[in-house]
Amino acid sequence: MDKTQTIAALAALAQPTRLQTFRLLVAREPDGVAAGELARLVGVPQNTMSAHLSILANAGLVRGDRQSRSIIYRSDLDRFREVTLYLIRDCCGGNAELCAPLIKELTPCCLPDEAANAN
C-alpha cells in the first residue's frame, strides 16, 4: 500500500453515503449485500448507489460478484487492513506504550468469540 492508494481509499470514504455503505458491508461480512438491497438500506436511488459503489470499488474497498441477476457487494477487508496499517504503521514513533490504548480498543472486535466473552 502506498500513499496514493491510501489517499484514494480515504477519499472514497470521505462522503456520508459511501462511508455508511462501507460500514454496512463490513458488518455484513462474509455474506455481502445485493446492490438493490444496499440502495434500499441506505435510502438512495439505485443509480446513485451504483455510482457510490463504483467509487468504492475503484478505491479497492469493495468488490462485486455476480450471482444470477444480482451483484452481491462485499467489503475488501484485506484492503481495509492495508489502509489501516498504513495509517498506524509508524504509530507513536516506536513507543509501544503510547499505542497501547489504540490496540486495546481494537482488540475486542478482533478476538474469537470465546476470548471476547471472557473479557
* pLDDT tens-digit readout, 27-73: 999 999 999 999 999 999 999 999 999 999 999 999 999 999 999 99
Are the C-beta atoms of 36 and 70 separated by less than 8 Å?
yes
Query: How far apart (Å, rounded) are the C-alpha atoms in residues 99 and 27?
Result: 25
Does the pLDDT of residue 115 top 60, yes or no? Answer: no
What's the whole-model pTM score? 0.83
SS3 67: strand
The separation between the first and the last C-alpha atoms of the chain, rounded to the nearest angstrom, is 33
User: CATH 1.10.10.10 in the chain, residues?
Assistant: 3-78
Q: For residue 71, which of 34, 21, 41 has the smallest C-alpha distance?
A: 34
Q: Say whether domain 3-78 belongs to CATH 1.10.10.10.
A: yes
